[in-house]
Homo-oligomer: A and B are copies of this chain.
Amino acid sequence: MRGTLRAWRSRWERLRNRDRVGADPFGPPRSRAWQRPAQLVVAAFALVTLVGTALLMLPIAHEGPKSTSLVQALFTAVSAVCVAGLAVVDTGQHWSTFGEIVILALIKTGGVGIMTLASVLGMVVIRRFGLRMQLSAQAETRSLNLGDVRSLVARIFVISTTCEVVVSLVLTLRLWTYYEEPFGQALYHGVFHGVAAFNNAGLALYSDSLTRFAADPVILLPVAAAIVLGSLGFPVLLEMRRHIRQPRRWSLHTKLTLTASSFLLVAGIVAITVLEWSNPATLGAMSWPQKLLTGVFHGVMPRSGGFNVVDVGQMDDSTLFVTIMLMFVGGGSAGTAGGIKATTFAVIFVVVWAEIRGHPDVHAFGRRLSGGAIRQALSLTFLSMTVVAAATVYLLITTPFPLEQILFEVVSAFGVVGLSTGITPELPGQAQVLLVLLMFAGRIGPITFASALALRERTRRYDLPEARPIIG
């Protein structure tokens, strides 16, 4: 840990002195120090998680005479830091106001923290390959100095806080005026759920999540909008803000993310609305405008929101299966979403499409995808599938629940979505610890894995003869 920090500090030194000494801090490394950024991300998250767990273990963190077990505190801290949203205890009932504020702080730290770290890593990767990315004004010049990073952090903080304040304000006013909560309580609830929404945390202070607002578009639509925005990821948000009227200037990353996210969003809304339309336990009893509102809201959730207004455990198996696939893909990179990411999904789709049309190169939006990006998308997807499959087999062996419920909970944890068919609190302790590991791996894994891969990419030195095995 101390070694990691020292290496990182020396990197900053090289970074600050780069104009003077002319060394490129992100050029090909002389030592193995280039592995450090990924290690720093893991270490930072582990540290915040440990502090959060310790705070949640304090007697003042929970209400009344109950006690909090280590697994409960750890699970809640990881769920908050990783903005997952799965819960082993009732968030509003179990935790005191102090505990809830700790959770809120963990959400904000985890949400903004990962955005920042992922964006910095993204800049490093992009810079290393000499490709332009419009994260900052100097981006085109291939220089990256501490000013860039400071400005990046500031921009992320401003964007995320602005979104959170707007949604919190709407929720507060609605809770205060329409639901007649006292102003202080309305403000507290408004801020908590506003922050939870933009950060896709999925933790609600109400025992029924947001079910009590199932017919209220003034609550549900701002929450859904905040979830979608947060899930797009910071690079996309910033680029959209800068070039809102010039979509042509958007980078390939933004175009791929927006296209894939739109498709997944529509697919989710249509699937849930159609498949649950006459399910008496979910949309069946509703008026049709409410069916549509609920369909939209629950179609947004796999982006990786995690709130619910109907009982997910009562949904049809077909809905659960579609939701599992949507959760596995998740949202945009360097945002509050999990999963393999919409860009990865888009890259795979583009590759398949190019193959079907027999194109020798993989093109998207007037750009050629590098073989490296394709191999990384494939690797990330298959490693993620391996993790999900292994966890599923373990839970199938050790718990009595059927495949659809286990797969749902595993993918929800790995995709840091937080939707649940209700089995998480009933799982044995070691299975809950497995979900903790899945949330952690799902939040940190893809970012650090992919950036570590990209940073390690080397130019080829020699070539072996090419061979073509029979595929299919």
Q: Which residues does A use to contact B, with CB under 8 Å?
A: 118, 122, 125-126, 129, 131, 233, 235, 251-253, 256-257, 275, 316-318, 320-322, 325, 333-334, 340-341, 343-344, 346-348, 351-352, 354-356, 358-363, 366-380, 382-383, 389, 392-393, 396-397, 402-404, 407, 445-447, 449-451, 453-454, 456-460, 463-472
Residues of B within 8 A of A361 (CB): 460, 463-464
Our pick among B321, B325, B366, B379 for the contact of A464 (Cβ within 8 Å) is B366
Our pick among B251, B256, B348, B456 for the contact of A382 (Cβ within 8 Å) is B348
Our pick among B316, B396, B447 for the contact of A321 (Cβ within 8 Å) is B396
Q: In the complex the two chains form, what is the Cα distance from A368 to B463 in whole Å?
A: 7
Q: In the complex the two chains form, what is the Cα distance from A454 to B355 in whole Å?
A: 9
Question: B374 touching A375 by the CB < 8 A rule?
Answer: yes
Given contacts A131-B467, A397-B316, contact A352 B378 (CB under 8 A): yes
Question: A379 touching B367 by the CB < 8 A rule?
Answer: no
Q: List 30 A-B contacts (CB under 8 A).
A: A129-B468, A252-B469, A275-B397, A316-B397, A318-B396, A318-B397, A322-B393, A325-B389, A333-B469, A343-B469, A351-B375, A352-B383, A355-B376, A355-B453, A358-B457, A360-B372, A361-B460, A362-B375, A363-B464, A368-B465, A369-B466, A369-B469, A370-B467, A371-B371, A372-B468, A376-B472, A380-B472, A445-B472, A446-B471, A450-B472
Our pick among B253, B356, B402 for the contact of A317 (Cβ within 8 Å) is B402
Our pick among B354, B367, B465 for the contact of A375 (Cβ within 8 Å) is B354
Residues of B within 8 A of A257 (CB): 469
Q: For A389, give the chain B residue with the smallest CB separation.
A: B325
Question: B407 touching A348 by the CB < 8 A rule?
Answer: no
Q: In the complex the two chains form, what is the Cα distance from A359 to B457 in whole Å?
A: 7
Question: B467 touching A447 by the CB < 8 A rule?
Answer: no
Q: In the complex the two chains form, what is the Cα distance from A332 to B235 in whole Å?
A: 44
Our pick among B320, B347, B354, B472 for the contact of A471 (Cβ within 8 Å) is B347
Question: A374 touching B374 by the CB < 8 A rule?
Answer: yes
Question: A358 touching B458 by the CB < 8 A rule?
Answer: yes
Q: In the complex the two chains form, what is the Cα distance from A352 to B385 in whole Å?
A: 12
Given contacts A368-B465, A369-B469, 16 further A-B contacts (CB under 8 A): A125-B468, A321-B392, A340-B472, A347-B469, A348-B382, A351-B378, A352-B379, A354-B375, A358-B456, A367-B467, A370-B468, A371-B371, A402-B403, A404-B404, A446-B471, A451-B472
Given contacts A383-B352, A450-B470, contact A458 B359 (CB under 8 A): yes
Question: B404 touching A470 by the CB < 8 A rule?
Answer: no
Q: With both chains docked as a complex, state the minimum distance between the C-beta of A206 and any C-beta of chain B, in angstroms.
A: 30
Residues of B within 8 A of A397 (CB): 275, 316, 318
Q: In the complex the two chains form, what is the Cα distance from A463 to B379 in whole Å?
A: 25
Q: Which 10 A-B pairs have the closest CB atoms?
A: A450-B472, A358-B456, A446-B472, A367-B467, A318-B396, A355-B379, A403-B404, A253-B469, A333-B470, A252-B467
Q: In the complex the two chains form, what is the Cα distance from A252 to B466 in whole Å?
A: 10
